[in-house]
Chain A
C-alpha cells in the first residue's frame, strides 16, 4: 500500500527538473525588441575560471563603449553569459540554448578548443555565428562557414616566432604543451625554425597540469643550446622559466604569455623574454591608450592579452552587426563583407577565406623591467 505514494514522489522528482528547464527555456526569450544579445559560453568556475574573469573585464569595457555610442541601430547591446567550465558536456546544451534564443544574434567562445568544437555543429546547423576568439586549433574554423576566429593560426604565429628566435640564437631547445594548441605550435615552429637555419638540440612535450619540469629542463640544459623556446601558456611558462634558472641555464628564454599574470608569476627570471604578440600597453595608438586608460581606471590592474581578445571580439561582432544588420544573418554578412574592423591587437582586421585574420601584424615583444616593450 505504501508503494504508490513513493513511486508518485519519485515520478514527480523525475519530471520536475525537466519541467523547470522547460519553463526557464521560454522565460529566457525576452520579447524586448530594443535589445540585441550576444551569447557568451565560457568558464566562470572551474580550473579555467581566471580566463572567464579576464574575458568579462574586456567584454564589459567594450559593452560600455558600444552602448555609449548608441548600440546597434539604436538597440542596446547585452551579453548572455553561460558558465561552461570549458567542458564539452556543458557547451553542447548551452549551444542549443543559445540557438533557440531568438534574441541572440551571435555567440562568443568557448575558451578551449575541445569545448568550442564540440558545440560547433550546433551553431553551424542553426546558422548562428560562433566566434571562437581564443580558438587557435587549426581545424576550428573548418567546422563550417559560420565558425570564425580572430585567433592567429599557428602558421602565422610560429613562422614569425622562429624569425625572432633566429635573431638571437643558433641552437635551441624547445618545450611545448601536450595539447592540440601546443602540438600544432611545435610542428609549425620546427618547420619554420629549419627554414631559418636553427638547430633544435632537444625537445619535449609537457602536460598542462605538470608543476615540475626539472627533468626535461636538465636534458634541455645538457644539450647545450643558446636559448630555450617555450610554447605554452602563462602559468606553465612562469614555472618553466624559473626552474630553468634553477637548473643553471643562463641563456635567453622565449615564451610565456603577454599577460600581467605571467609577468608577476615569473618575476626577474624571465627578464629578456621574447614573445610574439600584438598588444602592447605602451602602444602609442590613441585607441589603445584610450582602452588602457579605461581599463586601469575601472579595474585598477594592467590589461593583458585575454582582456584585449575579449574586448576586440565584442567590438568586431558589433561592427559586423552594424554593417550587416542586427540579425544572425546580418552578423554573418557583416563578417564576410567588412574589411576594416577596428582592433586593439591588429590596428585593423579583416578575415581571409578560412575565416581567420588576413595578413595579421605580429610583433616582437621583449620583457624589460617587468613590462613588455617592442623589440628591435
Chain B
C-alpha cells in the first residue's frame, strides 16, 4: 500500500511538472497547447545530447536545455499561435497540433528515431523509502515542482507583470487598452512554460530513463488531463491534478493491472468534470460575462455550390475509376470515408459550436459493431452497417451526455475522454471484442449476390454513403432544426432565452455525427478486414477535427475538400519519404496560418 502510494506520488510528480507549463499557457492565452508534449520531448532529447554526447555537467546541460526550449516556445508563439489571436480558438489549437508534428519529426531527423538511455546525472536510486528505491533526482524534481508552482502562483498573484498576465488572460482587449503589453506578456508565458517543459524533459528523462523524440505525445496528453483535473489556468491545480492522477493511476493499476491505465486516466477525467465542471480548483462563473460589443462572429460565409457545379463533380467522382489507377482509387475511398466522418461532424462542431476531439470513439464502436455482427453472429453487411451507426450514436451519445453542460475547452477535453474511454472499454471487454487480439476476416459486403471486395467497388460504396451523408447534413442545415443548431453555436445564452434547450440540441447534433462516424467505422472495418483497438487513436480523432477546421467548420462541402487535402497530401508527399510527415505538418501549419477560417469559406 505504502509503496504504491509512493510510486504514484513520484509518477504524479512527473505529470505535475509538465502540467504546470500547460496550465500557464492556457491561463495566459486560452490556448490548449498540444505542442507542449513535443517541447517536453525536445527537452529530454536535448538533455540527453548535452549530457551523454557532449559530456556537459548537469547545471550546464540544464541551462542549455532551458535556453533551447525557451527559444522553441517563443518560436511557437511567434510563428503559430500569436498570428491566430483574432481567429477562433480552435485554429490556434490545431496550429499547435501541426507544430507538434513538425517538432516531433524534426527531432527524429536530428536525434534519430532510437530510444536512448538518459544518463543518471543525479543518482536515481540511492534512497530507500519503504520497500522502494528512489533517487536524489526524484527529490530534486519534487523540490523543483513545488518551487515552480509556488513561484508562479505568487508571481501571478503579486508580481507586477504577473498581475498583467492575469489581466491579459481575463480580457486581452481590455488589457491592451489599459496599456498592458499583451503580445510581450504572451511571449513571456510561452518562453517560461516551454522552458519549464524542457526542464521537465530532463528530470522526467532521468526518472523514466528511456527517452525518444516521440515520447512527447503521451506525456503531453496525460499532463493535459492532469491540468484539466486541477482546473486549467491554475498552477496549484495543475500540481494537485498531477499528483492526484499519479496516485489514482497507481492504485487503479495495482488493483486491475496496467492494461486499464487509459480507462483510469480518462475515467477519472470524466468523473471530475461531471462533479466539478471547471476542474478541482477551477471556478465556473455563475453567469457568463455579456460580451461588451454584443455577440460578434468573425469569419465568413460558406461558399454555396450550384447544381450545375455539383452534378459534374459528382459525375467526375463516379467516373473516377475509369480515369485513374487503383492505388489512387484506394486513396480516394479512404478520402470518402473520412469525408463521411467529417461532414457529419460539421453539425456538432460547426453549427452547434461544440468542438469534439474524440470521434475515434464512435468510429471504433461502429467498426466493432460491424466486425462482430458479420463475423460472429453472421449478419449480412447491410443491417450490420445500420446497426453500426445506431449503436455508435446511442453509446457515444449516452457517454457524452454529461459533457453538454460544460463550457469552452472543457467540452473538447470531455469528448477526448469519451473517445479514449470507449476504446479502452473495447480493449478490455475481451469476451466480446477479443481485446488486443483484434477481429480478423471481416467479410466484404454482398450486394445482389455480388461480393464488393475490389478497390473500385469499395470506393463506389463509400462514395454512395458520402452522398447520403451530404444530403442528410445539408437537409438538416436547411431546416428549422439547422437554424436552431446554428443559434446554439452562435450564442448559447441567447438561444436558451429563446426557448432552445441547448443541451438537447447539442446531444442531438452529436448523435447524428456519431451515427455517421459509426458508418465510417463500419466502412473502415470492411476496408481493413482486420481491426484492433490501437487503430482508433488520438491522431484519428485529431484528423477528423482537422479536416473540418480546414474545410471551414460549418461546411460539409469543405469537409470533403479537407479530407481530400489531409488524406491526400501525405500520399502526394510520398515523393520525399523522410520528410513526408514533416512536410505535412508544415503544409497544415501554413493553411491554418493563412486561412484560419477554412478553405471553403469566403472571407467577409
Let me know if B114 and A261 touch, CB within 8 A.
yes
Check if B425 is an interface residue, CB within 8 A of chain A.
no
Let me know if B250 and A204 touch, CB within 8 A.
no
Let me know if A205 and B258 touch, CB within 8 A.
yes
- Of A19, A208, A218, chain B has the most CB atoms within 10 Å of the CB of A218
Identify which of B32-40, B75-83, B504-512, B574-582 touches chain A: B574-582
| Tally of contact residues, B, Cβ under 8 A | 92
When each residue 515-535 of chain B gets 1 if its CB lies under 8 Å from chain A and 0 otherwise, what string results? Answer: 000000000000111111011
- The CA of A206 and the CA of B528, in the complex, are separated in Å by 26
Q: Chain A, interface size: which category? A: 35 or more
- Return A322 CB to nearest CB of chain B, in Å: 29
- The CA of A143 and the CA of B528, in the complex, are separated in Å by 12
Check if A36 is an interface residue, CB within 8 A of chain B.
no
Check if B7 is an interface residue, CB within 8 A of chain A.
yes
Let me know if B577 and A44 touch, CB within 8 A.
yes
Can you report 7 residue pairs joining A to B where beta carbons are below 8 Å apart? A18-B568, A20-B572, A117-B529, A206-B261, A209-B218, A239-B208, A239-B209
Let me know if B250 and A215 touch, CB within 8 A.
yes
Identify which of B23-31, B130-138, B378-386, B392-400 touches chain A: B130-138
Check if B325 is an interface residue, CB within 8 A of chain A.
yes
Residue from B7, B11, B108, B326 in contact with A218 in the complex, judged by beta carbons closer than 8 Å = B7
Check if A145 is an interface residue, CB within 8 A of chain B.
no
| Closest B residue, CB atoms, query A114 | B532
A-B complex: 9 closest residue pairs judged by Cβ atoms:
A205-B259, A49-B113, A118-B528, A206-B258, A117-B530, A214-B7, A204-B257, A97-B327, A25-B325
- Return A375 CB to nearest CB of chain B, in Å: 25
- Return A130 CB to nearest CB of chain B, in Å: 13
Known: A215-B7, A261-B115. A18 touches B440 (CB 8 A): no
Check if A26 is an interface residue, CB within 8 A of chain B.
yes
Check if B303 is an interface residue, CB within 8 A of chain A.
yes
When each residue 198-236 of chain B gets 1 if its CB lies under 8 Å from chain A and 0 otherwise, what string results? Answer: 000000000011101011001000000000000000000
* Residues in chain B near residue A265, CB distance under 8 A: 115-117, 209-210
Check if B334 is an interface residue, CB within 8 A of chain A.
yes
- List B residues at the A interface (Cβ < 8 Å): 3-4, 7-8, 10-11, 14, 105, 108, 112-117, 125, 131-134, 208-210, 212, 214-215, 218, 249-251, 253-254, 257-259, 261-262, 303, 305-306, 309, 313, 316, 320, 323-332, 334, 427, 435-438, 440-441, 453-455, 527-532, 534-535, 561, 564-565, 567-572, 574-575, 577-578, 580-582, 599-600, 602
Known: A45-B105, A265-B210. A14 touches B131 (CB 8 A): no
Check if A376 is an interface residue, CB within 8 A of chain B.
no
- List A residues at the B interface (Cβ < 8 Å): 3, 6-7, 10-11, 13-15, 17-22, 24-26, 44-47, 49-50, 52-53, 81-83, 85, 88-90, 92-93, 95-97, 99-100, 113-114, 117-118, 120-122, 125, 137, 139, 142-143, 175, 178-180, 182-184, 204-216, 218-219, 221, 234-235, 238-239, 242, 245-248, 261, 264-265, 267
Let me know if A21 and B571 touch, CB within 8 A.
yes
- Of B14, B116, B257, B329, chain A has the most CB atoms within 10 Å of the CB of B257
Let me know if B132 and A248 touch, CB within 8 A.
yes
* Residues in chain A near residue B303, CB distance under 8 A: 3, 6-7, 10
* Residues in chain B near residue A13, CB distance under 8 A: 561, 599
Let me know if A180 and B208 touch, CB within 8 A.
no
Residue from A22, A50, A207, A216 in contact with B328 in the complex, judged by beta carbons closer than 8 Å = A22
Known: A17-B572, A182-B436. A216 touches B131 (CB 8 A): no
* Residues in chain A near residue B4, CB distance under 8 A: 214-215, 218
Given contacts A96-B329, A215-B251, 12 further A-B contacts (CB under 8 A): A18-B328, A21-B568, A45-B578, A95-B330, A117-B528, A125-B454, A183-B436, A183-B437, A215-B249, A215-B258, A221-B131, A242-B209
- Return A342 CB to nearest CB of chain B, in Å: 29
Known: A49-B108, A205-B259, A239-B208. A248 touches B133 (CB 8 A): yes
Let me know if A215 and B254 touch, CB within 8 A.
yes
* Residues in chain A near residue B117, CB distance under 8 A: 238, 264-265, 267
Let me know if A10 and B258 touch, CB within 8 A.
no
| Closest B residue, CB atoms, query A89 | B334
* Residues in chain A near residue B114, CB distance under 8 A: 50, 53, 261
* Residues in chain B near residue A210, CB distance under 8 A: 258, 261
- Return A183 CB to nearest CB of chain B, in Å: 5
Task: Classify the interface of chain B: helix, strand, loop or mixed.
Answer: helix
* Residues in chain A near residue B564, CB distance under 8 A: 14, 17
- Return A13 CB to nearest CB of chain B, in Å: 7
Let me know if B331 and A21 touch, CB within 8 A.
yes
- Return B424 CB to nearest CB of chain A, in Å: 9
- Of B133, B209, B328, B569, chain A has the most CB atoms within 10 Å of the CB of B328
| Closest A residue, CB atoms, query B7 | A214
Known: A204-B259, A215-B7, A239-B209. A82 touches B577 (CB 8 A): yes
* Residues in chain A near residue B262, CB distance under 8 A: 207
| Closest A residue, CB atoms, query B254 | A215
- The CA of A88 and the CA of B574, in the complex, are separated in Å by 16
- The CA of A15 and the CA of B309, in the complex, are separated in Å by 14
- Return B290 CB to nearest CB of chain A, in Å: 37
- The CA of A196 and the CA of B435, in the complex, are separated in Å by 28
Known: A125-B453, A211-B210, A235-B115. A82 touches B569 (CB 8 A): no
- Return B455 CB to nearest CB of chain A, in Å: 6
* Residues in chain A near residue B131, CB distance under 8 A: 218, 221, 247-248
- Return B195 CB to nearest CB of chain A, in Å: 22
- Of B14, B258, B323, B535, chain A has the most CB atoms within 10 Å of the CB of B258
- The CA of A44 and the CA of B577, in the complex, are separated in Å by 7
* Residues in chain B near residue A24, CB distance under 8 A: 575
Let me know if A212 and B327 touch, CB within 8 A.
no
| Closest B residue, CB atoms, query A211 | B208
Residue from A10, A17, A180 in contact with B568 in the complex, judged by beta carbons closer than 8 Å = A17
